[in-house]
Amino acid sequence: MPKTNVGLEMYYEIEGDGPPVVFIGGLSQDHLSWMMQVPAVAAAGYRCITFDNRDAGQTAQSAEPVLFHFSAEPRGQAARP
């Protein structure tokens, strides 16, 4: 099982040859989220790179909780009526 170390062990898969295409899923998705798209993209001549996000699939669990901050506030401008 290929893994890389970026602060935690992260599972990934590579299929095909050619220019790379990295498939990035949403929160808690794993590489299987792209299983319907990868064969066609690889057959079109691309190297498909998929991975399991942290705390998902075969990627290691984080030692610390992963925190996200979402905001709908405008940045750098005041809202106008």
Domain assignment present for residue 9? The answer is yes
How would DSSP label each residue in the chain? Answer: --EEESSSEEEEEEESSSSEEE----TT--GGGGTTTHHHHHHTT-EEEEEPPTTSTTSPPPSS--------S-SSS----
Domain assignment present for residue 11? The answer is yes
Domain assignment present for residue 7? The answer is yes
Domain assignment present for residue 37? The answer is yes
Domain assignment present for residue 24? The answer is yes
Predicted confidence (pLDDT) per residue in 7-64, tens digit = 678 888 999 999 999 998 877 788 888 899 999 999 999 999 998 877 777 877 777 7
Domain assignment present for residue 22? The answer is yes
Q: Tell me how many domains the chain contains.
A: 1
When comparing pLDDT for 12 and 2, which is higher? Answer: 12
pLDDT higher than 70, residue 3 = no
pLDDT at 33: 86
